[in-house]
Chain A
Amino acid sequence: MDDTFHRQLIALLPRLRRFGRGLTGSVDDGDDLVQAALERAMSRSHQWTPGTRLDSWMFRIMQTMRLNDLTASRRRHGNSQVLDPDNATGGDLRDELESRLMLDHVREQVALLPEEQKSVLLLVCVEGLSYKETANTLDVPIGTVMSRLARARLSLQRTLENSHGAKVSNRRLKSI
């Protein structure tokens, strides 16, 4: 087997996990997707041309498998607790926690986007692919990338601005 291929694949693992996490909204489901894609990639390594982008090649495999999986996928839900305001802990901790939980809320809303918007959003805004690279990876016209991307970001922003979900600022942490 080609060592360049292995080396680049290892270096890519964090990004593949990140893409899987975004697509599935779950640590385990995301890693399951990465694992399946890696198994396929290993058996098809001869189909990858050294010197071309391995990340696009892998993202495409993951996207294809994700679409195949969707009807069979299970959703995992975390626990959620009842809302309740109470006594403050230190201000800095509260701010830090609030901003982390807000980011979790963002991830949650991304997971709820339609699949075709989600993959474009993740590839462009998180993985840093250009519009052209994204169009090639997903095998769609560049205009489609642009319109899906705009729609994803605008609906996401609207949702985040409307929701009260993760606003901890006036609420506090309470022990039960």
Chain B
Amino acid sequence: MISFDESTLVAYVDGELDPGTANEIERALTQDAAAAETVRALRDSASAVRRAFSGVINEPIPERLLRIVAGESEHGTLAGRRPWLGSAPRPAFALAATIAFLMIGFGSGYYFHQAVDPYSYEIASGETDTEEVYSNDLLYKALEKGAVGEEYSGENTAVDAHGSVAVVQDLRVASGHLCREFRSVLRQGKAARTKLGIGCRNRDGSWETLFLQPEGATK
């Protein structure tokens, strides 16, 4: 006789039961609406939790964590592109190159769950990752600390890029999240693009950002 306690049902949902028992439960579920409802709840919550945390994986890794693995202390200094000056034993060269590569791209240490941007902008030259990360640094500061209209700008001379971000207005949302509309302008060489978007502050301190339709690329 199959017992329908929660532990058995969760194992069934997660495929952790042997096939024989799983089949028996599957048949019995057609006769038991309450158990079927429990199965649905177990499935839906697992799926929601998985989706809720899926974005974290794509975030750039904060430098301070990379430094630890490189054998440095949290505040180890960077000289140019060489990430380790401490006295700790150095990892072998190939590994060191991996660490250096990871650090070069992600100097900001700020975190976004970004939408896939449906509007791609062709910028004449430069590496997209670098320019976006550079812009994201300013975007985070503007969202987190900026007053409406207060412009944050910076440049990355290595790729001839200059960018600025400003919050355009604050929004109220029914869920209680703080949301802010922003404008981000990036100039690189002779090309420029403007993005309008909305950012909402997650409970954990990160920002969700979404981009609205382009305000119009200029040359």
Q: Which residues of A contact B (CB under 8 A)?
A: 1, 3, 6-7, 9-10, 13-15, 17-18, 21-22, 24-28, 30-31, 34-35, 38-39, 42, 76-86, 90, 93, 96-97, 100-108, 110-111, 121-122, 124-126, 130-131, 143, 146-147, 149-154, 156-158, 160, 165-168, 171, 173-176
Verify A105–B210 contact, CB threshold 8 A.
no
* Alpha-carbon separation in the docked complex, A133 to B14 (Å): 14
- B150-194 interface mask toward A, CB cutoff 8 Å, 1 = contact, 0 = none? 000000000000000000011111111111010000000000000
Contact between B202 and A78, CB atoms less than 8 A apart? yes
A24 and B41 alpha carbons, distance in the complex (Å): 24
Residue from the list B46, B98, B198 in contact with A153, Cβ < 8 A? B46
A124 to B10, CA, bound (A): 11
Task: Give the residues in chain B near A39, CB-CB below 8 Å.
Answer: 68
Contacts of A121 in B (CB 8 A): 49
Q: Nearest-CB distance from A176 to chain B (Å)?
A: 6
Query: Which residue from B92, B111, B175 sits with its C-beta under 8 Å from A167?
Result: B175
Picked from A25, A42, A82, A146, the residue with its CB within 8 Å of the CB of B11 is: A146
Task: Specify which chain B residues have a CB less than 8 angstroms from the CB of A84 in the assembled complex.
Answer: 172, 174
The answer to whether B219 has its CB under 8 Å from any CB of chain A is no
Query: Are B204 and A26 neighbours in the complex by a CB distance under 8 Å?
Result: yes
Residues of A within 8 A of B115 (CB): 96
Between-chain CB contacts (< 8 Å), 29 pairs: A6-B95, A10-B66, A13-B65, A14-B58, A17-B61, A21-B56, A21-B204, A35-B64, A35-B65, A78-B202, A79-B201, A81-B172, A93-B198, A97-B179, A101-B173, A101-B175, A102-B175, A107-B202, A107-B204, A110-B49, A122-B53, A125-B49, A125-B50, A131-B11, A143-B7, A154-B45, A173-B198, A174-B171, A174-B172
Task: Count residues of B near A (Cβ-Cβ below 8 Å).
Answer: 67
Cβ of B59 within 8 Å of any chain A Cβ, yes or no, is yes
A175–B204 touching, CB < 8 Å: no
**A81, B178: Cβ atoms closer than 8 Å:** yes
Given contacts A22-B53, A35-B74, A38-B69, contact A30 B204 (CB under 8 A): yes
Contact A93:B210 (CB < 8 A) given known A101-B173, A146-B10: yes
Task: Tell me, in angstroms, the Cα distance from A39 to B41 when the chains sit together.
Answer: 39
**Are B98 and A18 in touch, CB under 8 angstroms?**
no
CB atoms of B173 and A18 under 8 A apart:
no
Q: How many A-B pairs fall under 8 Å by CB?
A: 219
Decide yes or no whether B24 CB sits under 8 A from chain A: no
Q: How far is the CA of A120 from the CA of B153 in the complex (A)?
A: 44
Residues of A within 8 A of B8 (CB): 146
Among B6, B57, B174, B179, the residue within 8 A (CB) of A14 is B57
Query: B188-219, CB under 8 A of A: which get 1 and which 0?
Result: 00000000001011111110101010000000
A136 to B55, CA, bound (A): 27
Partner of B175, one of A79, A110, A154, A168: A168
> How close is A76's CB to chain B, nearest CB, in angstroms?
6
**With A35-B68, A153-B46 as given contacts, are A100 and B200 in contact (CB-CB < 8 Å)?**
yes
Contact check, A176 vs B169: say whether CB atoms are below 8 A apart. Answer: yes
Q: Are A146 and B7 in contact (CB under 8 A)?
A: yes
Q: B175 to A107, Cβ gap below 8 A? A: no
Determine how close the nearest CB of chain A comes to the CB of B143; give it in whole angstroms.
11
Instruction: Please give, as numbers and ranges, the residues of chain B lying within 8 Å of A30 by CB-CB distance.
Output: 204
Q: Which residue of A lies closest to B179 (CB)?
A: A173
A59 to B: closest C-beta gap in Å: 14
Provide the bound-state CA to CA distance between A51 and B6, in Å. Answer: 35
Other 4 A-B pairs with CB < 8 A, given A42-B71, A150-B9: A78-B201, A78-B203, A107-B202, A156-B49
Q: Sort A-B residue pairs by CB-CB distance and give the 8 closest, nearest first.
A: A171-B174, A150-B6, A146-B7, A106-B52, A150-B10, A153-B45, A157-B45, A18-B56
